[in-house]
Amino acid sequence: MHDLHTAARRCLEATDPAEKIRLSFETWAALGEGLLAPDPASPAALPIGPPGRPERPRLVSSRDLAQRGLGTAEGRAALVHAIAHIEFNAIDLAWDAVYRFRGKPDAYYRDWASCANDEARHFTLLSGRLAELGYAYGDFDAHNGLWEMAEKTAHSDTARMALVPRVLEARGLDVTPGMMERLRRQNDERTVGILEVILREEVAHVAAGTRWFHWCCERDGIEPEATFATLLNDYMNGSLRGPFNLGARREAGFSETELTWLQTLG
């Protein structure tokens, strides 16, 4: 039997998107077949650094990203590219959760390996849509906000579970319905169909974050709702604004108290 942590590191380090996708699918399949398991004797995780990624897209500040309307094919392609970049980062985020945080129940590793497999499939769908629009991943600039948060939380599984799935990835639950509506107005049902799949499956990913955040809090004897609010303030200065997709967040395990509190943030 081979070590899951080592396999996750291989996925993380792959620089070519096609190779990262292939390894992600293979690793998830091997885990399901019982060919991989987390090995307690696996070498400790290396300090976090940039994951394997292609030379393009060029990474810039989010403030420097060009704003394009959806009334042109280029504008729609830019939106698809932005989502594809999020999904590409999400593959690495899921594998880093497998690689970095040791000594968890088997269900933890299955959850995040499953998420990585889903994100790889989402990236494949979006890459295909980009090709249909005449573009490829890397043709537009992108930002590195998701991975920057991974680096900030590499020392704490509690902070990672709170802030990556339950804050940054949960933003997808909030904004995707609006994007779908705008795309429908442009008669782009092909992209809408892909986003419907992603939105449905991302609820389960945020729910996994909720589940393991609560597990970490119970392990450490701390109260989850107060801890979540503290972490949000410490890492993001409370800079989370609505509107919030309350139904999807409720499905993903947010409590009514949390949802009421989030709506006070603006």
- Residue 165: cis peptide before it, omega within 30 degrees of 0: no
Of 254, 237, 211, nearest to 152 by C-alpha is 237
At 141, the pLDDT band (50, 70, 90 cuts) reads very high
> What is the rounded CA–CA span in Å between residue 29 and residue 7?
12
pLDDT (0 to 100) of residue 117: 98
Tokens standing for residue 87: 């999904």
pLDDT (0 to 100) of residue 120: 98
**Could you read off the pLDDT of 214-248 as tens digits, one per residue?**
999 999 999 999 999 999 999 988 678 888 999 99
Q: Structure pTM?
A: 0.96
Q: Which residues of 155-184 are buried (b: 16+ CB within 10 A; e: fewer)?
A: eebbbbbbbbbbbbbbebbbebbebbebbe
pLDDT at position 266 over 80: no
pLDDT (0 to 100) of residue 238: 67
pLDDT (0 to 100) of residue 18: 98
Give the count of beta carbons closer than 10 Å to the beta carbon of residue 104.
18
| In the chain, % of residues over pLDDT 90 | 89
Give the count of beta carbons closer than 10 Å to the beta carbon of residue 131.
12
pLDDT at position 65 over 90: no
Interhelix angle for 106-132 vs 4-13, to 10°? Answer: 20
